[in-house]
C-alpha cells in the first residue's frame, strides 16, 4: 500500500512565523510584534461585533455586499471590483492559486512580506527575490529579474518589515515596463498610515489596467486582526476568477459587521493615524539617539538594526526586552539576522521600549544579566 503524499514541494515550505504574544518564559507581555494599530479597534466596531452574537445561527452574506459597498463608498471605488478575503492573506493565496502553476515564477523584493513566497510555493511555483537598494524595493532590479516564467510580481508598499516605500511614479514605471501577461499585485496593507505626497496605494493603477490588483487589510489601521478581514480592488476579470475559487462564506458575519462599523468611524481612524505619525517620529529619533540604525518607515513599525557584537545583537536585545515583558518581532525569516521590528504602541508602551533599550545599550547590560 502506498502512503498518501502531499503535492510536490509542499514539505519544503517553511511555515509562516507570526509575531509572538508570550515571552520565552511563557508570560503574557506587551505585544509589539504584529503591527496592529496602537489604539485598537473602534468601539463601534467592537459593538457591531457583539451584536452579531444574536444572529450566529445564520450563514453570513456570501457576497459580503454591504461590506463591499461600504469599502467602495469609503475609498471611492466600484463595489463590483472589490472582493473580500479572510485577511488579505487569503487574497494573496487565492491570487497565487489562480495565476501560478508549477514551473511559473513569482517575483518579489528581497525583504518583501514573507507570505508571498509561501503562497507561491503552495501553488507549485518558484519565488524569485530581486535585490533591494538601501533596503528599498528596486524597480530596475525587479525588471532585470523578470524571466519568461514570471507570472506575478508582488510589491508590499510600504514594505513590511522595512517600512520603506516606492512613489507612484516608480510603480507606474514598473507596470509600463513589465510584460502585459504579468500580474502586478500592490499590497498596500499599511496605506492608511502613509503621509507622503508622492505615495499612492494603487487605486488609479488598478483602474487604468487589466493586470494590476491592490490588496488591503482591516488588520492594521482598523486593528481588527483577530477577525481576519482583508480586501482587494481588482479588474473585473480577476474578481470573476477569485469569486469562483474562494470559500462561499469566506467572510464571517462578525467581520462583515465590524468592518462596516470601523469604516464609518472616521474620527477614530484619524486619531489612529495622528497617533502613529507622532509616535513613529518620536521612536525613530529616540532609537537613533541610542545609536541604533532604523529605516525611514512610513508605516506603523520600525526595523531596528543592532550592533554587530554578540552582547548587543538583536538576539541579545530580544532576550533583554522579553525579560522586561516586551515582545518585538525577530527578523531572521525576512533575511535580517541582526534586526528586530518594533510596532508603534501606546505612549506608555513606546516609552517602555525606549527605556528598556536605553538600559540594554549601556555597557555591561545584555540578555544574560
Ligand X SMILES: Cc1ncc(COP(=O)(O)O)c(C=O)c1O
**Considering only residues 29, 45, 64, 87, which one is a binding residue for ligand X as defined by CB under 6 A?**
87
Kindly list the distances between the CA atom of residue 216 and the CA atoms of 61, 137, 181, 307, 320, in Å, as whole numbers in the listed order: 20, 19, 23, 35, 34
The interface region with ligand X, picked from 52-60, 83-91, 173-181, 345-353 by CB under 6 A, is 83-91
Is residue 250 involved in binding ligand X (CB under 6 A)?
A: no
Q: Which helix (H) or strand (E) holds 289?
A: helix 266-289
Is residue 67 involved in binding ligand X (CB under 6 A)?
A: no
**Considering only residues 30, 88, 162, 269, which one is a binding residue for ligand X as defined by CB under 6 A?**
88
Of all residues in the shown chain, the one whose CB is closest to ligand X is: 87
Query: Among residues 232 and 326, whose Cβ is nearest to ligand X?
Result: 232
304 SS3 class: strand
Q: Give residues with Cβ within 8 angstroms of 25, minimum separation 6.
A: 322
**Considering only residues 82, 225, 251, 331, which one is a binding residue for ligand X as defined by CB under 6 A?**
225
Residues 175-194 that bind ligand X (CB under 6 A): 187, 189
CA nearest 132: which of 151, 147, 145?
145
CA atoms in the 13 A half-sphere facing the CB of 360: 32
Residues 101-160 that bind ligand X (CB under 6 A): 113, 156, 160
Q: Minimum distance from CB of 223 to ligand X (Å)?
A: 11
Cα 111 to chain centroid distance, Å, stands at 12
Query: Among residues 88 and 145, whose Cβ is nearest to ligand X?
Result: 88
DSSP 134-171: TTB--HHHHHHH--TTEEEEEEESS-TTT-----HHHH
Is residue 219 involved in binding ligand X (CB under 6 A)?
A: yes
Contact (CB, 8 A) for 109 and 138: yes
Query: Among residues 155 and 354, whose Cβ is nearest to ligand X?
Result: 155
Q: Minimum distance from CB of 225 to ligand X (Å)?
A: 5
Residue with cell 497565487: 96
Cα separation, 348 vs 166, in Å, equals 32
Is residue 163 involved in binding ligand X (CB under 6 A)?
A: no
The interface region with ligand X, picked from 39-47, 53-61, 87-95, 141-149 by CB under 6 A, is 87-95
Query: Among residues 77 and 223, whose Cβ is nearest to ligand X?
Result: 223
Positions that interact with ligand X (CB under 6 A): 35, 87-89, 113, 156, 160, 187, 189, 217, 219, 225, 230
Amino acid at each position: 500500500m502506498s502512503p498518501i503524499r502531499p503535492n510536490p514541494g509542499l514539505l519544503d515550505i517553511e511555515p509562516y512565523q507570526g509575531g509572538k504574544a508570550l515571552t520565552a518564559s511563557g508570560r503574557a507581555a506587551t505585544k509589539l510584534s504584529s503591527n496592529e494599530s496602537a489604539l485598537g479597534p473602534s468601539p463601534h466596531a467592537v459593538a457591531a461585533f457583539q451584536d452579531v452574537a444574536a444572529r450566529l445561527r445564520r450563514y453570513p452574506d456570501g457576497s459580503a455586499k454591504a461590506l463591499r459597498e461600504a469599502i467602495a463608498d469609503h475609498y471611492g471605488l466600484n463595489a463590483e471590483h472589490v472582493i473580500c478575503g479572510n485577511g488579505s492573506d487569503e487574497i494573496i493565496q487565492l491570487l497565487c492559486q489562480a495565476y501560478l502553476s508549477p514551473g511559473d515564477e513569482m517575483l518579489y523584493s528581497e525583504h518583501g512580506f514573507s507570505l508571498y513566497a509561501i503562497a507561491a510555493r503552495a501553488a507549485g511555483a518558484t519565488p524569485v527575490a530581486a535585490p533591494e537598494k538601501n533596503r528599498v524595493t528596486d524597480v530596475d532590479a525587479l525588471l532585470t529579474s523578470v524571466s519568461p516564467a514570471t507570472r506575478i510580481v508582488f510589491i508590499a508598499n510600504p514594505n513590511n518589515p522595512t517600512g520603506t516605500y516606492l512613489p507612484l511614479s516608480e510603480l507606474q514605471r514598473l507596470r509600463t515596463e513589465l510584460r502585459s501577461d504579468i500580474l502586478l499585485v500592490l499590497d498596500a496593507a499599511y496605506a492608511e498610515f502613509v503621509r507622503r505626497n508622492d505615495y499612492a496605494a494603487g487605486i488609479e493603477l488598478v483602474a487604468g489596467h487589466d493586470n494590476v490588483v491592490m490588496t488591503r487589510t482591516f488588520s492594521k489601521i482598523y486593528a481588527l486582526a483577530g477577525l481576519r478581514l482583508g480586501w482587494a480592488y481588482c479588474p473585473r476579470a480577476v474578481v470573476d476568477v477569485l469569486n469562483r475559487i474562494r470559500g462561499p462564506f469566506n467572510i464571517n458575519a462578525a467581520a462583515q459587521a465590524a468592518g462596516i462599523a470601523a469604516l464609518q468611524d472616521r474620527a477614530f481612524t484619524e486619531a489612529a493615524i495622528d497617533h502613529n505619525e507622532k509616535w513613529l517620529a518620536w521612536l525613530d529619533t529616540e532609537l537613533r539617539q541610542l545609536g541604533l540604525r532604523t529605516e525611514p518607515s512610513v508605516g506603523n513599525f520600525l526595523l531596528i538594526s543592532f550592533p554587530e557584537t554578540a552582547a548587543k545583537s538583536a538576539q541579545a536585545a530580544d532576550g533583554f526586552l522579553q525579560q522586561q515583558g516586551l515582545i518585538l518581532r525577530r527578523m531572521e525569516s525576512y533575511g535580517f539576522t541582526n534586526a528586530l521590528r518594533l510596532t508603534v504602541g501606546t505612549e506608555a508602551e513606546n516609552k517602555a521600549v525606549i527605556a528598556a533599550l536605553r538600559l540594554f545599550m549601556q555597557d555591561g547590560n545584555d540578555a544574560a544579566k
